[in-house]
């Protein structure tokens, strides 16, 4: 194990760094670099505050300033920038200034790095946070991952490897420094991680001899998480206000940065309703209509909130079911059920999971830190993610030609080239289907991506001059499998990036 190694959970709403290694064994578990507040330890809110300061401010300080500064000139608050990554998105700041989303994200990484530098333990050990394992949602594709890497690079951080968020939470929950994950040898766990931006579900298994842990299946939903609950609460509160006021209008546009304040108030209302039956929400001067400012003063009951949330919770249940189907398992074949992520605190979410899995449902130890802790453990133990299932090309006889065998470390490596012959070029296209074995030793195959097509020369008739398709398979720095196929006769080229591989870890 390394003396000290680092993991980062870069979240839509909250981010956190954890450290772990030989130097910390007396602590028994990884140390989290919390954003300390008088009310206790909290992760760092992923909010970037652009203002007159030299560097944008991030974290609790930024969050706490939304109320006081969001209406001042020259201030902009950017929340949930993770959701914008990989889409060539830009974020609008003050004075019409725009920045690419990854550059805004780099401010969060810079803040985490600077904050770690000031931590007493880091000063004592004279170590700096540079290289780290970073977690990503299960559905994050190559472009999204590469923008995280780019953001990190700009902040002076180096990526060791990516790990899926729920997988990291599972490692953290069951790990012990002596026996690693031996305690759950032969057991399966489903992790349900519902945060601010994504829902991530994964089913893992530890081998009977405790030597490996791997993902059997994962599934996720982007853009249907805590942020959507907040938007739904905002919409409902606005409708209530319109219905009760005698303004006789259909909508009330939010001017200036009133939406920042409204969003924060809606989020607080949602969080409170996880523990109370009714919550009052007050936002001064929120709406402007007919030349007058109006305060919002409404109440929302838990029952109302649950009705609003129903459609999202149904979508989450369907996601868990899809994950079970991919794994070919029924709920009864799962030994442990772990909940993580802030949105899992909603009582109706927990009830939904209990309906599926019964009394096995448990909240991961210290859910706010579980993901970053798992990443730090993987970094300190120097476990390298490997590809779990055999991946290959589907041949015309229905069998698979293996190109990335299960067990191969997912490290950017030499690429491999293979040639295939298009046996019937008459329709002018060769179709290349990338598949994976559902389970090792099993013959069942499932598609990993949409079919690639390459234009071929339909004039070729003779067997000896069949069109040759050269294919190149590259494991990228982002732990994706890039496939490039080209027809030798037409030069037509096609490229895909497969990101939904299952990760495994060799534990010794």
Ligand X SMILES: Nc1ncnc2c1ncn2[C@@H]1O[C@H](COP(=O)(O)OP(=O)(O)OP(=O)(O)O)[C@@H](O)[C@H]1O
* Residue length of the chain: 508
Span of 6-14, 117-125, 395-403, 418-426 interacting with ligand X by CB under 6 A: 6-14
Does position 11 bind Mg ion by CB under 5 A? yes
What binding mask, one character per residue, do residues 208-247 give for ligand X by CB under 6 A, x or -? -----------------xxx--------------------
Q: What angle do CA 467, 472, 474 make, to 5 degrees?
A: 165
Cα-flanking dihedrals φ and ψ of residue 419, to 5°? -115, 140
> Binding-site residue total for Mg ion (CB under 5 A)?
2
- The CA-based diameter of the chain, rounded to the nearest angstrom, is 82
Cβ proximity to Mg ion, 108 vs 400, nearer residue: 108
Contact between residue 225 and residue 196 where contact means Cβ atoms under 8 Å apart = yes
If contact means CB under 5 to 8 A according to the sort of partner, which of ligand X, Mg ion, none does residue 343 touch? ligand X
Cβ proximity to ligand X, 94 vs 231, nearer residue: 231
Interacting residue with Mg ion among 43, 59, 142, 195 (CB under 5 A): 195
Span of 69-77, 242-250, 330-338, 339-347 interacting with ligand X by CB under 6 A: 339-347
Q: Which of positions 63-102 make contact with ligand X (CB under 6 A)?
A: 82
Cβ proximity to ligand X, 143 vs 345, nearer residue: 345
Q: Residue 284: helix, strand or coil by DSSP?
A: strand
Does position 271 bind ligand X by CB under 6 A? yes
DSSP per-residue letters across 166-224:
HHHHHHHHH-BTTTBTGGGTT-EEEEEEE-SSEEEEEEEEE-TTSSEEEEEEEEEEES-
Torsion of CA 175, 177, 178, 181, to 10 degrees: 20
Does position 14 bind ligand X by CB under 6 A? yes
Residue 28, Ramachandran bin (φ over 0: left; ψ between -120 and 50: alpha; else beta)? left
Does position 12 bind ligand X by CB under 6 A? yes
CA distance 214 to 408: 13
Span of 7-15, 74-82, 96-104, 265-273 interacting with Mg ion by CB under 5 A: 7-15
H or E stretch covering 465: none
Contact between residue 361 and residue 8 where contact means Cβ atoms under 8 Å apart = no
- Give the nearest residue (CB) to Mg ion: 195
Does position 196 bind ligand X by CB under 6 A? yes
Q: How far apart are CB 165 and Mg ion at their closest, in Å?
A: 5
Torsion of CA 421, 425, 427, 431, to 10 degrees: 0
Q: How far apart are CB 309 and ligand X at their closest, in Å?
A: 10
Interacting residue with ligand X among 7, 30, 56, 195 (CB under 6 A): 195
Q: What is the DSSP letter of 409?
A: B
If contact means CB under 5 to 8 A according to the sort of partner, which of Mg ion, ligand X, none does residue 13 touch? ligand X
Q: Which of positions 274-313 make contact with ligand X (CB under 6 A)?
A: 274
What are the residues binding ligand X (CB under 6 A)?
Answer: 11-14, 82, 165, 195-198, 225-227, 267, 270-271, 274, 341-343, 345-346
């Amino acid at each position: 194990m390394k003396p000290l190694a680092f993991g980062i959970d870069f979240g839509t709403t909250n981010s956190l760094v954890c450290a772990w290694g030989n130097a910390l064994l007396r602590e028994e578990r990884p140390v989290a670099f919390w954003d300390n507040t008088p009310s206790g330890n909290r992760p760092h809110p992923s909010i970037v505050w652009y203002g007159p300061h030299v560097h944008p401010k991030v974290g609790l300080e930024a969050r706490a300033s939304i109320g006081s500064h969001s209406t001042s000139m020259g201030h902009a608050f950017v929340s949930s920038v993770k959701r914008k990554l990989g889409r060539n998105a830009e974020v609008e700041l003050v004075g019409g200034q725009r920045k690419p989303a990854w550059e805004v994200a780099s401010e969060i990484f810079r803040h985490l790095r600077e904050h770690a530098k000031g931590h007493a333990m880091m000063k004592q050990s004279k170590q700096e946070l540079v290289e780290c394992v970073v977690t990503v949602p299960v559905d994050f594709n190559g472009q999204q991952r590469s923008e995280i890497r780019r953001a990190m690079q700009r902040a002076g951080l180096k990526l060791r490897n990516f790990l899926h968020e729920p997988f990291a939470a599972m490692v953290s929950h069951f790990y012990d420094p002596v026996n690693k994950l031996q305690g759950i040898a032969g057991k399966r766990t489903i992790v349900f991680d519902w945060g601010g931006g994504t829902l991530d579900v994964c089913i893992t298994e530890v081998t009977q001899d405790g030597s490996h842990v791997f993902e059997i299946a994962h599934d996720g939903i982007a853009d249907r998480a805590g942020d959507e609950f907040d938007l739904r609460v905002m919409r409902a509160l606005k409708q209530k206000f319109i219905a009760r006021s005698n303004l006789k209008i259909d909508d009330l546009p939010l001017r200036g940065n009133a939406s920042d304040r409204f969003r924060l108030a809606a989020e607080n209302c949602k969080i409170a309703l996880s523990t109370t039956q009714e919550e009052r929400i007050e936002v001064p001067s929120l709406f402007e209509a007919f030349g007058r400012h109006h305060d919002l003063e409404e109440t929302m009951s838990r029952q109302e909130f649950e009705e609003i949330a129903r459609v999202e919770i149904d979508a989450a249940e369907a996601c868990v079911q899809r994950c079970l189907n991919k794994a070919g398992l029924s709920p009864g074949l799962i030994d442990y059920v772990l909940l993580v992520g802030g949105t899992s605190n909603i009582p109706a979410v927990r009830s939904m999971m209990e309906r599926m899995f019964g009394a096995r449902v448990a909240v991961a130890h210290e859910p706010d830190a579980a993901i970053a802790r798992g990443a730090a453990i993987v970094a300190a133990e120097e476990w390298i993610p490997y590809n779990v299932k055999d991946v290959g090309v589907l041949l015309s006889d229905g069998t698979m030609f293996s190109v990335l065998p299960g067990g191969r470390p997912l490290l950017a490596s030499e690429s491999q080239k293979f040639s295939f012959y298009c046996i019937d070029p008459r329709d002018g296209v060769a179709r290349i289907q990338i598949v994976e074995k559902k389970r090792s030793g099993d013959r069942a195959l499932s598609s990993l991506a949409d079919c690639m097509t390459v234009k071929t020369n339909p004039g070729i008739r003779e067997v000896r001059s069949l069109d040759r398709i050269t294919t190149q398979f590259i494991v990228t720095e982002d732990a994706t499998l890039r496939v490039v196929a080209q027809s030798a006769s037409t030069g037509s080229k096609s490229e895909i990036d497969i990101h939904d591989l299952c990760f495994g870890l060799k534990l010794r």
